[in-house]
Amino acid sequence: MNMANGSDNLDIHAIEKKWQDWWEREEIYRFDPKSERPVFSIDNPPRYASGRLHAGHAVHYTHIDFVARYKRMRGYNVFFPLCFDVNGMPIEVNVEKKYGIRMREHDRHKFIKLCEDFAEENMEEMKRQFKVLGESMDPSIYYQTDSPDYRRLTQISFIKLFKRGEIYKGDYPVNWCPRCGTALYDAEVEYKKNLTNLNYIKFRVKETGEPLIIATTRPELLATCQLVAVNPSDERASTLVGKKAVTPIYGREIPIVADEKVDPDFGTGVVMICTIGDKDDLQWVFKYGLKLEKGINEEGRMTEITGPLSGLTIKEARERIIQILKERDLLLKQEEIEQNIGVCWRCGTPIEFIHKKQWFLKTLEHREAILRMADEIKWYPEFMKTRLVDWVNSLSWDWVISRQRYFATPIPVWECENCGYILPAEEEQCYIDPTVTPPPVEKCPKCGGTLKGSEEVFDTWMDSSITPLYNTFWGRDEGMHKRLFPMSLRPQSHDIIRTWAFYTMLRSYLLTGKKPWEEIMMGGFILAPDGTPMHTSKGNVIDPLEIKEEYGTDPIRYFAAMCTLGKDSPFRLKDVKRGKQIIIKMWNIMRLVARCYEGIASRTLMELVRKSPEDIPLHTIDKWLLTHYSRMVKTATESADRYEFDKVVRAASDFLWHTLADNYLEAVKYRIYSEKDPAVIYTLYNVTFGLMKIFAPFMPHITEEIYQRCFRSLEEVKSIHLTLWPTPILEDPVATDKGEKIFEMISAVRRWKNTERIPLGEEITAVSIAGDISLNAEEMRDFKEAVRARQVRAARIEDLKETILDIKLKFNLLGPVYKEKTSEITRFVKEGRWREQREYLAKGFIKVPVKGEDVTVPEDYFEVVKGWTLEGRDVNKVKAGSTLLLIEK
Ligand SMILES: [Zn+2]
Ligand SMILES: [Zn+2]
């Protein structure tokens, strides 16, 4: 074994680098499409190519890597692609920031090129990061979502659904980010609190000429005001309803209605309804059948119908209209209030509602089907399913799948500029960019008008919601698709249940009628050490590579393993440090274990360790260890099957540190060093090999190093990561109970040595065991060697006698009473002559001869120190459970 001789200094960084290169070279993690083994396929989240990974991403992907490595060791042919998401706004926004440019002021195709280059740079860096973090993703099944192959599939899936009527173009109000110039789906709208002015504006009742004060936060939308409403319980309702209100500045006459939805306590209890300022307005619009008027255009500027505000930005328009209202004495007062406003998830700009033709994918009518599908998928942790169910039940619109951006998959249609006729591309044509490729027919088949390629692109989720279809060769290789679909597992974070999980289920349902995966696993977030979510924009991110530089990758992965599935966890450096300690412990244990085999021929060793435990003369404590090991394997396997990796690592670490190192190894050192006992070799080989395998998915580098040094020469598999997950070896409850008692006795003696300040390795004379335990010769021997006693024997409690060990004079009392006799008394005690006076002592005094005369000293003047003797020898009494240990120093 390489470990015991020569170069065995532990250089974590060198070891990690060495194996990362070797795994890559040897293609250890390659998916084998020809293999007969069962497939375990992972719908790995394609990483956004928008920036470097922070510690949160690192932990997220490392969790997924645990699954891949575990399943490989369970004998699966694991499909775990390296992949990137290279589409959409995150990249565009970063490119705009990087170059200080605005997308719309730039040439479309030049801007796309900048996005591609930016993504390329990031992907190269992230591939390096993934490698350095020890992720076992397979580059042989690599994909990125902007490749023509991938986009082809996105387009084909669109064409199929369009032809089936599942996709339509509708004239609907949409959430709109004026900065990004694009429609947003509800899930992309975030909410934040902000302060704004509530403006009390003077309207007029047409019939009576009386003023009507209405409070609003959106005075710039006054031009589109079409209705005034009051709560029916309001006492003004009876006189107002049915009359008309006249809007200030614009002089428009609009109906006044009563509506339960008006909050009588907000502002003046009268509201103006515009088309459209916010989601509430939208409900009125539908209820009262109001005409959609466009006050704000796609660039976030006011339209012509706003008169004097036309061309201004929303902010400018608000200032301007307040100024006009003031000038005309139409503004009664302003109050500052806090409000919850919807903002763009990418850039934080308040969103607007505008109405614009958009592409929609029918969502609402498939809700029931999605909910049924959610029940067919196994959720880890289970409670995450509720989030999807709640979301599906709360949906009120279909999915807006079009975006007015550049860097994404183009919508493969041409539209007639005259009649709006839509001509989709043929599936065989895809991938195409209709802004570049001319339509297959020259003129609109309906009216003969000009056909123009769509400049719109798909929402990024249109690409990423077909990852399971792409991964399983849908539309490319039907045979493979049949074999691989549904995929085994979708791992993802819980913040994109409403988007990625939901859309994938919807697309899979519509395109295949089947669920996309058997299982879904939800990771939590990694919080900054202060407990807030880690965000690159907040500057509180931790760079995993910096931590790696100091501690190594395996310790970071140990921390990742300690994060509970589905829970948000703060970054804990102490776990990283603990991970490093465990590596060092493993290393030292393996050096000791390797000494067992020193000098034993491989063949002999192989025959020995492959035997069944019944054929080995195992000691009780060997059986104890093998049973504990087997129980740990069982726990670890059950937890890993539920993806609860923290429980796996906790069980393995506890076993390593306490059961194996503190207890067993200490007790069997003599059998390793001087006897090369086959029972110990058998036990240690199998237990440590299995233990290294359990650690392998989590700390792949150190376990590979140990495997190659200590086990590889006897095992046929070239990497520990291709070996099979261990199984229990022995379950012997009787031996385990007895072993428990033996170790209880061993720790009692060791604790006693500690309090007596005797080094653990120092020999003691004897330990006598009194109690209901009876040890056989082997057990006696193991116990004796473990506690370093020259002799161990059984004793009877009846033979134990209480005795006086010493007496201590109380000089402060003695002196004043016994005066000059004190020195004689002191000498008498010191010389131990009191020992001949046990009879007097039993009665509570001693007699000291001073100048021929006996002086009686009662117990008031001394203290008796009591102890125990066993057959006349002084012993210390130590309890170990129900057993009594009598120790002779
Ligand atoms: Zn935006
Ligand atoms: Zn036409």
Question: Quick one: pLDDT at residue 3?
Answer: 59
pLDDT of residue 7 exceeding 60: no
pLDDT of residue 812 exceeding 50: yes
pLDDT of residue 660 exceeding 70: yes
- Could you give the count of Cα atoms lying within 13 Å of 229 in the half-sphere of its Cβ? 21
Question: Quick one: pLDDT at residue 731?
Answer: 97
Closest listed residue to residue 221, CA positions, set 290, 272, 285, 280? 272
Question: Quick one: pLDDT at residue 8?
Answer: 62
The predicted-structure confidence for 337-371, as pLDDT tens digits, reads as follows 988 888 988 788 888 887 778 899 999 999 999 99
Question: Quick one: pLDDT at residue 297?
Answer: 84
Compute, in angstroms, the gap from residue 159 CA to the centroid of ligand 2: 20
Mean pLDDT (the chain, rounded):
92
pLDDT of residue 51 exceeding 90: no
Compute, in angstroms, the gap from residue 429 CA to the centroid of ligand 2: 22
Question: Quick one: pLDDT at residue 605?
Answer: 92
- pLDDT confidence band for 294 (50 / 70 / 90): confident
Amino acid identity of residue 588, one-letter, is N
> 683 CB contacts (<8 Å, ≥6 apart)?
616, 618, 622, 625, 626
- pLDDT confidence band for 276 (50 / 70 / 90): low
Question: Quick one: pLDDT at residue 5?
Answer: 44
Question: Quick one: pLDDT at residue 530?
Answer: 77
Contact 409, 462 (CB under 8 A): yes
The predicted-structure confidence for 551-610, as pLDDT tens digits, reads as follows 999 999 999 999 999 899 999 999 999 999 999 999 999 998 888 888 888 899 999 999
Average pLDDT over residues 74-81: 98
Distances (CA, A) of 784 to 48, 191, 875: 62, 70, 17
The predicted-structure confidence for 378-402, as pLDDT tens digits, reads as follows 999 999 999 999 999 988 778 989 9
Look up the pTM and report it: 0.83
Residues 326-333: contacts with CB under 8 Å, at least 24 apart:
328/248, 328/249, 329/202, 330/201, 330/202, 330/248, 330/249, 331/199, 331/200, 331/201, 331/202, 332/200, 332/201, 332/202, 332/213, 333/200
Compute, in angstroms, the gap from residue 413 CA to the centroid of ligand 2: 13
End-to-end CA distance of the chain: 40
The strand pair at 800-809 and 487-493 is best described as: unpaired
pLDDT of residue 292 exceeding 80: no
- pLDDT confidence band for 6 (50 / 70 / 90): very low
The predicted-structure confidence for 780-810, as pLDDT tens digits, reads as follows 999 999 999 999 999 998 888 988 888 899 9
Question: Quick one: pLDDT at residue 539?
Answer: 78
Compute, in angstroms, the gap from residue 417 CA to the centroid of ligand 1: 29
β-bridge mates for residue 358, sequence order: 170
Compute, in angstroms, the gap from residue 343 CA to the centroid of ligand 1: 8
- pLDDT confidence band for 234 (50 / 70 / 90): confident
Average pLDDT over residues 638-651: 97
Q: Nearest bound ligand to CA 448? A: 2
Q: In angstroms, how far apart are the furthest CA atoms of the chain?
A: 145
- In the chain, % helix, strand, coil (3-state, to 5) comes to 45, 25, 30
> Sign of the C-alpha dihedral, residues 699, 701, 706, 712?
positive
Q: Nearest bound ligand to CA 189? A: 1
- Could you give the count of Cα atoms lying within 13 Å of 565 in the half-sphere of its Cβ? 25
Compute, in angstroms, the gap from residue 67 CA to the centroid of ligand 1: 36
The strand pair at 253-258 and 225-230 is best described as: parallel
Question: Quick one: pLDDT at residue 171?
Answer: 73
The predicted-structure confidence for 413-465, as pLDDT tens digits, reads as follows 999 999 999 999 999 999 999 999 999 999 999 999 999 999 999 999 999 99
Q: Sort 542 into a burial class: Cβ within 10 Å, 0-12 / 13-18 / 19+.
A: middle
Compute, in angstroms, the gap from residue 275 CA to the centroid of ligand 1: 22
Within 10 angstroms of residue 298's Cβ, the number of other Cβ atoms is 17
pLDDT of residue 1 exceeding 60: no
Q: What is the DSSP string of 79-144?
A: E-EEEEE--SHHHHHHHHHHHT--GGGS-HHHHHHHHHHHHHHHHHHHHHHHHHTT---EEEEEEE
Lowest mean pLDDT of 334-348, 376-390, 505-519, 629-643, name the range: 334-348
Question: Quick one: pLDDT at residue 90?
Answer: 81
> 686 CB contacts (<8 Å, ≥6 apart)?
609, 626, 629, 729
Contact 39, 484 (CB under 8 A): yes
Q: How far apart are CA 252 and CA 245, in angstroms?
A: 8
Q: Sort 486 into a burial class: Cβ within 10 Å, 0-12 / 13-18 / 19+.
A: buried
Question: Quick one: pLDDT at residue 872?
Answer: 84
Q: What residue has token string 């500027």?
A: 301
- Residue 100, φ and ψ in degrees, nearest 5: 60, 40
For 382, the 3-state DSSP assignment is: coil
Compute, in angstroms, the gap from residue 338 CA to the centroid of ligand 1: 22
Within 10 angstroms of residue 803's Cβ, the number of other Cβ atoms is 16
Question: Quick one: pLDDT at residue 290?
Answer: 82
pLDDT of residue 822 exceeding 60: yes
Q: Nearest bound ligand to CA 444? A: 2
Question: Quick one: pLDDT at residue 674?
Answer: 76
The number of residues in the chain equals 889
Compute, in angstroms, the gap from residue 861 CA to the centroid of ligand 2: 121
Q: How far apart are CA 123 and CA 467, in angstroms?
A: 18
pLDDT of residue 199 exceeding 90: yes
Q: Nearest bound ligand to CA 343? A: 1
pLDDT of residue 173 exceeding 80: no
| Percent of the chain at pLDDT exceeding 90 | 69
Amino acid identity of residue 595, one-letter, is R
Question: Quick one: pLDDT at residue 101?
Answer: 87
Closest listed residue to residue 555, CA positions, set 439, 694, 690, 698? 698
| Percent of the chain at pLDDT exceeding 70 | 98
Compute, in angstroms, the gap from residue 164 CA to the centroid of ligand 2: 21
The predicted-structure confidence for 879-889, as pLDDT tens digits, reads as follows 998 899 999 98
Q: What residue has token string 């997308």?
A: 103
Compute, in angstroms, the gap from residue 97 CA to the centroid of ligand 1: 13
Q: How far apart are CA 583 and CA 579, in angstroms?
A: 6
Question: Quick one: pLDDT at residue 287?
Answer: 75
pLDDT of residue 264 exceeding 70: yes
The predicted-structure confidence for 745-780, as pLDDT tens digits, reads as follows 999 999 999 999 999 889 999 999 998 888 999 999
Question: Quick one: pLDDT at residue 279?
Answer: 65
Q: How far apart are CA 231 and CA 248, in angstroms?
A: 22
